[in-house]
Structure 1
Amino acid sequence: MTLHLLLARADEREPILEEPLPLESVLLAPPPAYLPIPTHLHDIAGDPDSLGAQRWALIVPEGEQGRRIEAILKPLCELRAREQGAPVEICRVPAGMDRAQAIEFRDRVLHSPARSRREHARYVLLAGGLEALSLELQEVLVGDGACFVGRLAFEQEADYEAYVSKVLAREQSLPKPRKARALYLSSGDGTAAVRNGQRNIVTPAAQQCRSEHQQGYLRAKDILEEELAEGSVERLLELAAQDEPTLLFTLSHGVGAPTGGWRSVDMQRQRQGNLCLGHGGELEPSVVRRHPFIPGGVWFYFACFGAGTPTCSVYEKWMERLVRFREMPSRYLKSVHDSRPKDGRPFVAALPQAALANADGPLAVIAHLDLAWSYAYRDVLTERYHAHRLEAVLSSLMNGHRVGPAVHVLIQFAGRADARLRWQYQEQAVKDSETGKPLPEELVKQAYLWMERHDIASYVLLGDPAVRLVVPD
């Protein structure tokens, strides 16, 4: 097995990694910064879909911008207050929180011991960009395991209003759908990364959903699978235009920096993370904004930088080691460096922003806020493909669970990998003290678990975590 990176150059639309990395290269991965990710809700007895039991809160930045966003989101807050039978908690926080500040906010404000745990909000909507509401804040709330976290981050304030109007229309005015269709699409760009993904993750996940449907465990109107022809933006738009609840899963390269880097900040922010369809083109935000695209649905977008771009990728230290030990050409690392934010500011990708702001667009987008690797296809240690992880999330959505708990199913796998990784490091520390030298197979397990843990942890939810694809019976 080899490692492919799902990132393509913006000019040539060719993969940045011309040759895949050997799987053994993960052995040079540095120790991770652990996050406490429990594999269960704190309130195990509570219905995870009940806002009355779990509560919903809004977090906005301090200052004038936060006050404007809060005013725009007032109708959404009123809707959630009616659903939970209690006022919505609104928290105003300073910009750029570091991890320690985020933990203090969570423990002293959001989940203060001075209040009953019944009043602690587990559905949390962050409304603001990655600079105003830091990624560290989001990671702490997700990592605590008690919160279902979603984020709205638009460049234009009018887009917040458009999103709120869409959610209210879907939840209050339109007929309540009981079944949705599942649409599995992959880019037919001919690259090994996407071909392997089609064979090992997309098709098995679709087949598993069909099996669950036939056995009566999954409610679905249709389950469709298609490999898009190279450059077939029109076919993608055609499939995504139907005005019925749709769960869309796409697998493709994400657009990264062109050769020589981005010429401007605006160009990077408009194109980085766009869905690449090979030499024939890419799915652009302007197209998604003006065409029906998964109306009222949920989009699971698998590609590099699909949700956005952090200041620095968690994988860069590992790649720097690969270059230092001559396990990887330096030009690969340069290509990743060229995709860093040109102005040093992390950002949410323009493509999901456009989709969420579209009145005929999805209610939520699930995607990577970092690089996406083909390691996500298969567990090397157990020889098992990861289609079951994808199916678990998608089935949860198809059966009417809110999107926050559905994504939490995915986060549980990160918690398991994190726990196994901790155990491996502890075991190594004991054996090092006894023999002075770790066993090779233990180092291999640590490296693979490191990759697995970071891949899953980089998924984020864009949109209100309380929305549903369909309403359960």
Structure 2
Amino acid sequence: MDAAASVKWRDQVYRAEDVPQEERPRYLLLLGDLHHISIEFQHVLAHSAFVGRLHCARPSGSPELAGYTAYAHKVLASETSAETPEAPDVLLYTAQDGSAATTLGHQLLMEPCRDVMEKQWKPKHPAMRLQPLPYDNAGSEGLLRAASEARSGVMLSITHGLGQPKRGWASVEEQRAMQGALKIAAGQCLTGDALRSTPFLPGGMWFCVACFGAATPPRSAFQAWLELLAREQAYAGRPEAVLKSIPKSGERPFLAALPQALLANPQGPLAIIGHSDLAWTYGYVEPTDVYRSRASRITSALEVLANGSRAGVALDALMRFYRDVNESLMADYQARQEALTFGQPDPVEPRSLGHRWMLRNDLRGYILLGDPAARLALRRTPA
């Protein structure tokens, strides 16, 4: 289903008038890859319910039922665990690769998040262990060690996700195996094959900021707005470059191999929030001032997870900011239509419009992989 068909299904099936409200599920888990159930369907439903997706596949792309079984056992084991900590471990990791994107991400997302966690979270949860991982060229060893030892951990990471290399992909199979893998240091990547059985954030939750970290869509949501910003001399890159890593005609969109492997890994996380397109800094900065942090958009989701609430609720905390900017854009549409009707000048400044659409689409690109009802195994106070 495309977006229009997804909206129709939501309105006529999910919100059918003859379904009593108490029988309409709030937590929806989609099973399958993006050619089974479209990314548009997931985006549309994510604003009506708490929605996640699970797909476990072999390198050929065929479903791996053992992965689904392992994931189900992992979630049940977490829910029934007798040994639970009072508060989670919180891991913060930025890959230092010298790029402007990760450097800016560390300054405007990671450092403000750490500050909030130390000053606001720890006084409420003294047992919480905050672990900022070394921001250096140490490679993956420190990350893998900390992630394997975390107890009911929540992790925020900022890295580059692999897109198409300069030589191109050798095959479609190579693209599906490698695109969205995380670049840690020169020559080092975290891939699905590397973490298929390695302990990594067992029973935890991961917020992964990286291009294609969750999925590669059939088309990018950003090119049209980059074209507008380029005309307004507010973007110096080539807008058409966003198409380089998007599937070509006849090829299908796909979920990244890394989160698939980790969710099927019995010693992996319960849920992963990642990006289903190119990831930008727009998601955590002021849209018209790239040096003004809006890290609270991300910390709002992380706090939901760290408090032991469910993964779908955490994504919805982020989507509240999407709905805010969407409302702003609808106000622009109203103002433009009124100006057109009454023969008045267009009141909407193009550069501001382009930046806010980039913000809107960047936030919308984050999706949840895993059960939206999953939560950390934490000691809970009886109601």
Give the alignment's TM-score, normalised by structure 1: 0.73
8 Å CA contact 1:219–1:398 kept in 2: the answer is: no
How far apart in 2 are the matches of 1:200 and 1:325?
Answer: 25
Determine if the alignment matches structure 1 residue 153 to structure 2 residue 59.
no
Per-residue deviation, residues 295-346 of structure 1 (Å, max 9, x unmatched): 000011001000010011111233456678996555x734x32311255201
Give 2:253's aligned amino acid: P
Q: Please show how residues 73-472 of structure 1 align to structure 2 within 5 Å.
A: 97-142=1-46, 145-155=47-57, 156-216=64-124, 218=125, 221-230=128-137, 232-319=139-226, 328=236, 330=238, 333-334=240-241, 336-342=242-248, 344-380=251-287, 384-433=292-341, 436-439=344-347, 442-471=349-378, 472=380
| Change over 3 Å in CA distance of 1:102–1:377 after alignment to 2 | closer
8 Å CA contact 2:134–2:142 kept in 1: the answer is: no
Give 2:151's aligned amino acid: E
Give 1:446's aligned amino acid: L
8 Å CA contact 1:425–1:446 kept in 2: the answer is: no
Give 1:350's aligned amino acid: A
Give 1:159's aligned amino acid: G
| Change over 3 Å in CA distance of 1:231–1:224 after alignment to 2 | closer
Partner-residue secondary structure (3-state), 2:220: coil
How far apart in 2 are the matches of 1:286 and 1:460?
Answer: 22
Per-residue deviation, residues 66-86 of structure 1 (Å, max 9, x unmatched): xxxxxxxxxxxxxxxxxxxxx
Shift, 1:381, TM fit? 5.0
Q: Which residue of structure 2 aligns with residue 38 of structure 1? A: none
How far apart in 2 are the matches of 1:284 and 1:401?
Answer: 28
8 Å CA contact 1:230–1:280 kept in 2: the answer is: no
How far apart in 1 are the matches of 2:5 and 2:257?
Answer: 29
How far apart in 1 are the matches of 2:149 and 2:28?
Answer: 30
| Change over 3 Å in CA distance of 1:206–1:348 after alignment to 2 | same
Question: How many residues end up aligned between the 2 structures?
Answer: 371
8 Å CA contact 1:295–1:361 kept in 2: the answer is: yes
8 Å CA contact 1:188–1:227 kept in 2: the answer is: no
Give 2:281's aligned amino acid: S
8 Å CA contact 1:233–1:281 kept in 2: the answer is: yes
| Change over 3 Å in CA distance of 1:317–1:162 after alignment to 2 | same
8 Å CA contact 1:231–1:279 kept in 2: the answer is: no
Give 1:354's aligned amino acid: A
8 Å CA contact 2:122–2:128 kept in 1: the answer is: no
Partner-residue secondary structure (3-state), 2:258: helix
How far apart in 2 are the matches of 1:352 and 1:227?
Answer: 23
Q: Which runs of 5+ in 2 are unaligned?
A: 58-63
Q: Which residue of structure 1 aligns with residue 61 of structure 2? A: none
Partner-residue secondary structure (3-state), 1:468: coil
Partner-residue secondary structure (3-state), 1:460: strand
| Change over 3 Å in CA distance of 1:347–1:429 after alignment to 2 | same
Shift, 1:290, TM fit? 2.1
Identity value in percent: 37
Q: Which runs of 5+ in 1 are unaligned?
A: 1-96
Per-residue deviation, residues 250-296 of structure 1 (Å, max 9, x unmatched): 00111010114212011101110011123231111111112100000
Shift, 1:146, TM fit? 2.7
How far apart in 2 are the matches of 1:372 and 1:141?
Answer: 21
How far apart in 2 are the matches of 1:413 and 1:314?
Answer: 18
Q: Which residue of structure 2 aligns with residue 59 of structure 1? A: none
| Change over 3 Å in CA distance of 1:399–1:424 after alignment to 2 | same
8 Å CA contact 1:231–1:282 kept in 2: the answer is: no
CA RMSD, 1 decimal:
2.3
Per-residue deviation, residues 358-391 of structure 1 (Å, max 9, x unmatched): 1100000000000111222311458851111111
8 Å CA contact 1:304–1:370 kept in 2: the answer is: yes
8 Å CA contact 2:215–2:276 kept in 1: the answer is: yes
How far apart in 2 are the matches of 1:338 and 1:270?
Answer: 17
| Change over 3 Å in CA distance of 1:165–1:470 after alignment to 2 | closer
Partner-residue secondary structure (3-state), 1:306: coil
Give 1:363's aligned amino acid: L
Partner-residue secondary structure (3-state), 2:80: helix
8 Å CA contact 1:232–1:280 kept in 2: the answer is: no
| Change over 3 Å in CA distance of 1:219–1:316 after alignment to 2 | farther
| Change over 3 Å in CA distance of 1:219–1:422 after alignment to 2 | farther
How far apart in 1 are the matches of 2:251 and 2:223?
Answer: 15
Per-residue deviation, residues 391-420 of structure 1 (Å, max 9, x unmatched): 111111111111111110100100000001
281-290 or 198-207: which moved more? 281-290
| Change over 3 Å in CA distance of 1:235–1:140 after alignment to 2 | same
Per-residue deviation, residues 436-461 of structure 1 (Å, max 9, x unmatched): 43357x33332222111111000000
Shift, 1:183, TM fit? 0.6
Give 2:23's aligned amino acid: E
